[in-house]
Amino acid sequence: MSEATRDPIWQALLRHAGKPRIPHASLDAASLMPLRRTLHSLGDPHERLRIVHIAGSKGKGATALYLERLLLAHGHRVATFTSPHLEHWRERFRVCGRPAAETPLREALRRIEAAVQRTPGAGELRFFERLTAIAFSLFAEAAPDWAIVESGIGGRFDATNVVRPALCIITRIEREHCDVLGDSLAEIATHKAGIIKPHTPVVCAALPGDALAVVLREAERLEAPVIHAGRDFSVESVRCGPLRQRMTYRGRRELSAEVGVAAPPLVENAALALAALEQLGFAVHRGLSEAFAQGLPARCEFLPGSPGVIIDAAHTPASFAALGDALSAAQYRRLHFLVACSNERHVRDLGRGLIETAQRVVVTQADRVYTLPPEQMARVLRAARPSLDVRVRAELASALNEAADGLGEQDLLCITGSTYLAGRARALLAQRVTPGHPGQGQPAG
């Protein structure tokens, strides 16, 4: 993460981080009671919010940001809670499209710590539970028209699942966090579907059969109507530039817009946001182009320069495949990679095809706790492709220089493998971003 995260408020929160993750199969509803009691001692701030709750394996943050843009364009005050952050921890708490200011966050933290002290059993609140409590306290004070809340890992026993939302969204489900959620898609979907509430509409992405069956069964049990991609709404997209897609959405009405993304999965997230907006009762009448024209940070984000840089926080097989599709449409003479990953499986996934066209891969360590030592990643990549030029640079600034060395105006540097790497590299490259939103550029060539 960026050095900007090293401030006293964040450091106070980090004292509660680093605890071993608990397999969710061993949890039950009682696991959320300490957080519920803490929030109750604060007057249940989450009960004062109209909430859209989002769970899924991929695309939660993108869907949240697209929905935020659409609601803002319709004149509403919006608060958005997402994780993790890229460059600064305040990005997790957005009010009216901007990271929350330091003073309100400090006051929210003070309220939470005081509530923990006076609430029996609350002293064991974990890191993400405290962040969630801060978000609800902060947002209640900000009094938005809508609050968009992204779940963390899972859903059923996630800290955010204390809410009673007006609408739920379930994005793509794939195998991830298997040590916590289980090995099968059905097991993982059981946790994601846990955010569904009685009689509360659910906007659902197109899902694999096993996962979809779980979601539909839970929705039927709770008499929750499902608005399902492929049945109740659909989206098509065609590439109209190296980093742009032309989207046609068909829901309650047909809409078209140009989306500033390279990867079709991000178009699916835009469609989920549109379906959610329609389900909330809005006739989409403005803001469509503004909401989708700009890219999203660290989602196939292009930073123009010499060389051009693509930053993507991909770390699953599906997201690596989407990045590979985007790179295949870009024009360049040479391609180098800068990589950091959180486990060896991600490194192996990265090595399966994505780096086939790379002339050089530099491996680094973006975070001492959450990314692997670079020597370990290098061994995995060299075993997968012995002829590949793999270089090890533990310090990120040095690794960035090594990865860019020898590349020029018609070349491309791809930075991927971890959200931690995406955020820190993005901060280091900030001086190279052209005026306006960084996603507006196009690859050289």
Give yes or no for a contact between 231 and 225, defined as CB atoms under 8 angstroms apart.
Answer: no
198 and 327 housed in the same domain: no
Neighbours of 29 (CB within 10 A): 10
Last residue of a domain, one of 293, 314, 340: 293
* Residue closest to 58 by CA, chosen among 201, 199, 211, 164: 211
Domain carrying residue 405:
301-440
In a domain, 226, yes or no: yes
172 and 219 housed in the same domain: yes
156: tokens are 């059923």
17 and 123 housed in the same domain: yes
Please report which helix (H) or strand (E) contains residue 312, including its range. strand 308-312
In a domain, 118, yes or no: yes
* Residue closest to 292 by CA, chosen among 54, 68, 58: 68
80 and 204 housed in the same domain: yes
Give yes or no for a contact between 151 and 34, defined as CB atoms under 8 angstroms apart.
Answer: no
What tens-digit pLDDT sequence spans the chain (445 residues)? 444 456 788 888 888 887 788 888 778 888 999 999 999 999 999 999 999 999 999 899 999 999 999 999 999 999 999 998 998 999 999 999 999 999 999 999 999 999 999 988 777 789 999 999 999 999 999 999 999 999 998 899 999 999 999 999 999 998 877 777 888 999 999 999 999 999 999 999 999 999 999 999 999 999 999 999 999 999 999 988 777 889 999 999 999 999 988 778 889 999 999 999 999 999 887 778 888 988 899 998 988 889 999 999 988 888 888 898 888 888 889 999 999 998 898 898 888 878 888 999 999 999 887 889 999 999 999 998 888 999 999 999 999 999 999 999 899 999 999 999 999 999 999 855 444 433 333 333 3
**Residue that the structure tokens 């964040």 belong to:** 10
Q: Residue 27: which CATH number?
A: 3.40.1190.10
In a domain, 190, yes or no: yes
312 and 381 housed in the same domain: yes
CA contacts within 13 A on the Cβ side of 311: 26
Q: Are strands 254-259 and 78-81 parallel, antiparallel or unpaired?
A: unpaired
405 and 284 housed in the same domain: no
In a domain, 445, yes or no: no
* Residue closest to 269 by CA, chosen among 317, 203, 328, 349: 203
248 and 314 housed in the same domain: no
Last residue of a domain, one of 293, 321, 346: 293
In a domain, 140, yes or no: yes
SS3 148: strand
308 and 284 housed in the same domain: no
The amino acid occupying position 76 is H
347 and 279 housed in the same domain: no
CA contacts within 13 A on the Cβ side of 384: 22
Count how many domains the chain has.
2
